[in-house]
Amino acid sequence: MFLAIAWRGEVLPALSVLACIATGVGLVIAIRKIVSPAVSLPPTLDWLDELSVERYRPMLRLVDDASPSGIAANLRRARYQIFRSHLHVLTVDFHRVCTAVKLLMVQASTDRPDLASTLLRSQVAFAWGIVVVRARLLLYVLGIGTVNIAGLLKLLDGMRLELRGLLPALGARSALS
């Protein structure tokens, strides 16, 4: 039966359809994560004061080129696990900042389409950056290449600065507390 289907040339179209469906499902999942990330609300001003990209700088060295070429596989896996946990915290922090920006935009007396556009672009860029970092991280575990999160840190810092700019000098504690 299978040979008859393959012979008629129906396997390739069927595989193409399955690949399109899988891609579509992946896009829907990614878009849902961008639109409604699971983060706790609202962040406090104390948290915002403590938030800095400097806390993620060790990630830049964790999976860099400086590792000896004969590094053991278990050390790579350990670094992989540490990096993934830091990446998760970075992602949560980014989503918390974006959620706070959205909250303040909704409560603002004036519309800010420029900020809404910046927010959307940043969220899409961050989501794509996470996909790329995770792919490179898998390659790193296999001993191929390194992982660079400088772009993700720049996006986090940019949104952090936008959030800081939205907070009025007085009464800011009531906006996020």
Task: Show the tokens assigned to 95.
Answer: 């989503």
Task: Show the tokens assigned to 70.
Answer: 């004969």
Helix, strand or coil, per DSSP, at residue 96? helix
Distance separating alpha carbons of residues 172 and 177, to the nearest angstrom = 8
Do 9 and 48 fall into the same domain? Answer: no
Residue 54 pLDDT grade (very low, low, confident, very high; cuts 50, 70, 90): confident
Do 132 and 163 fall into the same domain? Answer: yes
DSSP H or E stretch at residue 114? helix 113-141
Q: Tokens 């007085």 belong to which residue?
A: 170
Higher per-residue confidence, 79 vs 29:
79
Q: 35 pLDDT exceeds 60?
A: no
Do 14 and 54 fall into the same domain? Answer: no
Residue 169 pLDDT grade (very low, low, confident, very high; cuts 50, 70, 90): very low
Domain that holds residue 141: 39-176
Residue 175 pLDDT grade (very low, low, confident, very high; cuts 50, 70, 90): very low
Do 138 and 168 fall into the same domain? Answer: yes
Peptide bond into 42 cis (omega under 30): yes
Distance separating alpha carbons of residues 54 and 6, to the nearest angstrom = 56
Do 121 and 87 fall into the same domain? Answer: yes
Distance separating alpha carbons of residues 35 and 96, to the nearest angstrom = 13
Do 76 and 9 fall into the same domain? Answer: no
Q: 23 pLDDT exceeds 60?
A: yes
Average pLDDT, the chain: 76
Do 129 and 140 fall into the same domain? Answer: yes
Q: What is the CA radius of gyration of the chain?
A: 21
pLDDT on residue 172 = 45
Do 113 and 30 fall into the same domain? Answer: no
Do 123 and 94 fall into the same domain? Answer: yes
Q: Looking at the 3D structure of the chain, how many domains does it have?
A: 2
**1-10, 77-86, 111-120: which has the minimum mean pLDDT?**
1-10
Do 19 and 55 fall into the same domain? Answer: no
Distance separating alpha carbons of residues 125 and 145, to the nearest angstrom = 22
Do 54 and 107 fall into the same domain? Answer: yes
Q: What is the pLDDT of residues 92-146, one digit of tens each?
A: 999 999 998 888 888 888 888 888 899 999 999 999 999 999 999 988 888 788 8
Distance separating alpha carbons of residues 30 and 132, to the nearest angstrom = 13
Higher per-residue confidence, 6 vs 36:
36
pLDDT on residue 61 = 64
Distance separating alpha carbons of residues 90 and 51, to the nearest angstrom = 10
Do 164 and 107 fall into the same domain? Answer: yes
pTM higher than 0.85, yes or no? Answer: no
Distance separating alpha carbons of residues 44 and 55, to the nearest angstrom = 18
Distance separating alpha carbons of residues 72 and 23, to the nearest angstrom = 35
Q: 71 pLDDT exceeds 60?
A: no
